Structure 1
């Protein structure tokens, strides 16, 4: 019944909204979620354009003030929102709000407990809908809370950073850190929808946009060489300033989001194809653990190391690795690890992707095609020395 309602309602609204947004429904075994992609990145985005409690409908609203009249009386929304995002966009969400300071330190079971305790104070029940508004740390925390509070409540994501829009908020992984190690504890659970709106990125400093560029480039190194080339060229041509950069890369944000959600749909529990999305991340998580640089910087360095390891293992030619490294350098991304080979190897051996005596790296055959490559744990240090 729900599926028929979706088809009927959505078809009636398609012409009205085709200039505003696209909606992608992803089936995931026994679950479904919805990906909303706003076509115009510089649009004065009005969140009231959709009824967030019923993803079967898209509703045109003349003003933000109309949002309360759209909500069903039997439903209740609580927003979990980043404190910085609240200052800029909190007024778009006239619901009860739980404000969280997003930091790697706060991405913990302790913070999950604090949010859950706040939900208890607000008397949130199983019918409460959690709307998570912020970057990847927030969607991880919010998703973890939603999956565990009263054994699971419904939730939706509004990612507000580039990193979250192209990676962290997509795919259903919700992890928290433990003793400095990234995402050691976690669950896989899909939100009911994810809103992708590049308009949120207009207020980000350029440094924050750069945080997501490595993940965006990673997607096309994995899946589409032409889009990789186009994205790099667009970034090279963009003028200084966040708005110009966002206008250049907006189409690529949408494409990257589709790639990840489609891969996730085919391999929800990371038994096969989804492992490719870890390109650069085995290195990156170890680098983050040992020196505390940002995730985006670590991923950039990790991808370059993966490219070099691909050459070392004769998976790709030297020219491919050099191109990736040169492109990253010209774009102002990190291309080297600040951690010694011996320290990095020790951290990698404790990576959660280790299986017995092997750990799987994602290597690059060519831009647009990557492969999973298991390496013996005891050989990692030897290989890393050759990459430095």
Structure 2
């Protein structure tokens, strides 16, 4: 697969990425190399990655406990302290080997340590391959509020090797698939239609679907790196999806949702809103709802859940001047950003989701 050129960094695929990484290590005079992993990727992915490395640099592995609940500033402080103790300096390189939590947090750690050191993303989950590692967003959660603290800063390169997907359970694959569905809904109708019958997908060709998803995200981000305009389209399903994800994360009596599971619900709810704003027709909405519900289990909401979820919307990063802003689809494959939505319509969307 051809290398994708993003804003000031390349995205490599499979073997070509390791060649580029080793050439970069050879040509750049780094003082030492730090690999940030979580407890899952340390066990499952690091043993596959290390044999590809060709370098005489001192390599240090920094591990933190896996899970969204650890994507916080406390984990960053621990890693900053370890970097300091191990002699990291401005000429150090950080490689983030892991899923979205690792690439988000590791990119933030590297971007802020000594005002910024070079870093490289090697995503190991479907979600991080098609979404988290691409676009330069790095950050952590503030309590249960998603991605409230962060920076936009690009890596030296992204290396996508789909062999790491062999380590993933099915629910993690479905989580990443949600972002691929989103890319079709907001940008490419023919791409969306490929997922309408999952049984018909030849998973031997799944690399090509991943490639197209990365291509779509990069095309959008390249037009608007700092999210002033069209990049907001990537937030479809995320305004309500992030609120749902945060609510389930902070409630002990709820089972924590994977990111894609929450976004799948968000896409159904925001498609319903799009229909009632006459941006899509009923047939399109039913197609979207049916396709997503055929892949993801229903999430159960009771009457006491909806109000606190709506209250969490006020913390959404896309809000401007106190107004909640939605990105809604305007026909499948197109998007309309900066849309205000009244609470009554959101409540109706939840009722329809449950029906």
Give 1:37 deviation, angstroms.
2.2
Match of 2:317 in 1: 352
User: Aligned partners of 2:84, 2:113: CA distance in 1, in Å?
Assistant: 9
Cα 1:348–1:114 shift into 2, 3 Å: same
Q: Does 2:354 match 1:384?
A: no
- For 1:208-227, list aligned pairs within 5 A: 208-227=172-191
Match of 2:254 in 1: none
Task: Look up the SS of the partner of 2:272 in the other structure.
Answer: helix
Give 1:198 deviation, angstroms.
1.4
Match of 1:325 in 2: 289
Q: Which moved more, 1:354-363 or 1:118-127?
A: 354-363
User: Aligned partners of 2:17, 2:187: CA distance in 1, in Å?
Assistant: 31
- For 1:95-174, list aligned pairs within 5 A: 95-174=59-138
Match of 1:14 in 2: none
- For 1:231-270, list aligned pairs within 5 A: 231-233=195-197, 235-237=198-200, 245=203, 247-270=204-227
Give 1:140 deviation, angstroms.
0.8
- For 1:177-192, list aligned pairs within 5 A: 177-192=141-156
User: Aligned partners of 2:17, 2:320: CA distance in 1, in Å?
Assistant: 44
**Scaled by the length of structure 1, what TM-score is found?**
0.81
Match of 1:54 in 2: 24
Match of 2:6 in 1: 26
User: Aligned partners of 1:337, 1:316: CA distance in 2, in Å?
Assistant: 26
CA RMSD in angstroms comes to 2.1
- Once the two structures are superposed, what CA deviation does each residue of 1:321-345 show, in whole Å capped at 9, x if it has no partner? 1101111122x21455636432322
Unaligned runs of 5+ in 2: 54-58, 250-256
**Scaled by the length of structure 2, what TM-score is found?**
0.88
Cα 1:334–1:248 shift into 2, 3 Å: farther
Retained in 2: the 8 A contact 1:325–1:335? no
Retained in 2: the 8 A contact 1:219–1:259? yes
User: Aligned partners of 1:97, 1:126: CA distance in 2, in Å?
Assistant: 18
- Once the two structures are superposed, what CA deviation does each residue of 1:213-271 show, in whole Å capped at 9, x if it has no partner? 111110111111111112333x2235xxxxx74x3422111111111122212111100
Aligned pair count reads 333
User: Aligned partners of 2:322, 2:92: CA distance in 1, in Å?
Assistant: 44
Cα 1:268–1:72 shift into 2, 3 Å: closer
